[in-house]
Structure 1
Amino acid sequence: MSATPLAALLALLLAHLVGDFLLQPRRWVEARQRHKGRATALYLHAGLHGLLTLGVLGLAGAGPIPAFLAGLAVAGSHGLIDLGKAWLDPHRLRWFLLDQALHLAVLLAVWLAWQGSAAPLAETLAWLASPGVLTLALAYLLVTRPMALAIALAMRPWSDEVADPGTLAAAGARIGILERLLVLTLVLVDEFTAVGFLLTAKSVLRFGDLRERRDRKLTEYVLLGTLLSVSATLALGLLVRATPWVG
C-alpha cells in the first residue's frame, strides 16, 4: 500500500494526537511530573508514539529511511521533550504550546526524511512569503494589540468618566481582540450577515448588566467602543479584500 506524501503527514499528525491525548492516561502525566526520568510511564508513552509512527509509515509504504528508524527517532525525541517539560510548570499555556510545537517539528522532519525531499518545505516557505499570505498575516496582526491600543487611545477622553468594577482584569481588551479576529475572518469569507449576529449576541449578553446598573455613561461607552472596534475591522477587511493579490 502506498500513500501520498500529504496523506502520510496527516496520518502522522493524527497518530500524534491520538497518542498524546487519547491514549495517555492522567496517571502517566502525574508520574512523569513526580518522578521525572525515573517514571516508567515516560518510556511507555514515548514507546507508544514510536509504535504509532512505525505503524503509519509502515502502512504508507517504503521510503528512503526505514519505518523503524523513524519510529525510534520519534520515540527518542518524544521522551526527551516530555522529560524537559516535566521540569516546567504544567499549568502554563506557553510550555504546553512549546511542547506541541517541538513534537510537530520532529514529525515534520521525519516526514521530510521519509519521502527524501525538502521540496514540500520549500514550496510552503514560498507560499508563506507570497503577497497574499503576508497581507492576511498583517491584517490579523493589526486587529490584535495594535488596534486595541489605538481604540484605547481613541476612547481615553471618556474612560475616566466610567468606572467598571467587578470585571476580570484586562477581560475587555481580550474580548475585543477575539471579537475583531472573528469579524475580520467573517468579512474575508464574505459572511457579513454573521457579523450582524455576532453584534446582536454581544448586545444581548451586555444588555442585562447595563440595564441593572442603570449607568447611561457606561452603556454609551461600551456601545461606542464596540462600534469603533467593529467598524475599524470591517474597513480593514474590505481593504484587504480589495487588494488584487487577496481578493
Structure 2
Amino acid sequence: MTSPEMATLLGLVLAHLSGDFLFQPHRWVESKQRHKLLSPALYWHACLHGLLTALVLTLAGSGLGIILAGTLFVAISHALIDLGKTYLDSNRLRWFLLDQLLHLLVILGLWLTWLGSLQPLFEMFAWITTPRALTLAGAYLLVTRPMAIAIALAMRPWSDEVNDPGTLAAAGARIGMLERFLVLTLVLLDELTAVGFLLTAKSVLRFGDLRESSDRKLTEYVLLGTLLSVSATLALGLLVRSLNLG
C-alpha cells in the first residue's frame, strides 16, 4: 500500500472525527435526540460530513464522479446511522461504539471503492492469520478475563480476611485488566523501564488509602495481588517475545 493511498484513508477518518466531535455543537446532538427525523440538525450534520468527505477526495485528486458519489454515500449513510442511534439509549457505551463502527465501515467501503481494489482486505486477512498475530491476540485475551479469574482464585484464601469498604463494584478487576494490558504492551515494546513507572504510579495512588485504612492485611492483600498480576503478565510478555513468531 502506497503512502497516498494510506493518506486518503487517514484523511477520511480524520474528516469523520472532525465532523462528529470537533464541528458538531452539543445543541445538534440534543436536537437529534429530541426531534429525531424532524430535526434539522440531523441533516446539517450529514451535509457537514459529506462536505468534509468531498474535501478529502478532492485533495486526493479524485474525479468528479467519485467525489459526488462519495459525498452522497457518506452524507446519507451518516444520517441513517445517526437517526437509528436516536432511538437507542445514548448513555450506553455499546451504542456509541456500534455507531462509530458503522461509520468507520462506511469509510472503509468508500476508500476501497475509491481504490478500486480489495487487495488491502486480503493483505489484512493474511496478516491476521499469521502465527505472530494469533499469538498476540491470544496474549491480550489471556490478560483480560482469564487471568483475572485465575488471580481471583489464587487470592481466595486471603480474600475473606480483608475488608475494603467504599470501593466501586468490580473496579478492582477492571483496573487489573487495564494494568495487565499496559504491562503486556510495554513488555512487547521492550519498554521494561516504563513498567516500573507504572507500578510506582499505582503505588503512589494507593499509598494514601492504605495508610489511612491502618489495615495491614489489606495492604498485604493489595500488594500480593498487584505483584501476582504484574509478574504473570511479565512472564507472558517475555514468553511471547521469546517465541518471535514471523
In the superposition, the TM-score normalised over structure 2's length comes to 0.96
Alignment correspondent of 1:174: 174
> Residue 212 of structure 1 aligns to a residue in which SS?
helix
Ranges of 4+ aligned residues in structure 1 off by more than 4 Å: none
TM-fit CA distance, 1:63: 5.6
Deviations 1:105-133 (A, max 9, x none): 00000010111111111111111111111
Deviations 1:133-157 (A, max 9, x none): 1111110110011100000000001
Structure 1 spans left out of the alignment, 5+ residues:
none
Identity of aligned residues (%): 72
Cα pair distance change 1:187/1:54, threshold 3 Å = same
TM-fit CA distance, 1:65: 5.3
In the superposition, the TM-score normalised over structure 1's length comes to 0.96
More displaced stretch, 58-67 vs 40-49 = 58-67
Alignment correspondent of 1:13: 13
Alignment correspondent of 1:37: 37
TM-fit CA distance, 1:244: 2.6
User: Aligned AA for 1:19?
Assistant: G
TM-fit CA distance, 1:198: 1.2
> Residue 4 of structure 1 aligns to a residue in which SS?
helix
CA distance in 2, matches of 1:143, 1:63: 48
Deviations 1:29-73 (A, max 9, x none): 100000000001100100111111111112212369521111100
Q: Aligned ranges for residues 45-124 of structure 1 at < 5 Å?
A: 45-62=45-62, 66-124=66-124
User: Aligned AA for 1:165?
Assistant: P
Q: Aligned ranges for residues 123-142 of structure 1 at < 5 Å?
A: 123-142=123-142
More displaced stretch, 61-70 vs 174-183 = 61-70
Contact 1:42 1:83 survives alignment (8 Å): yes
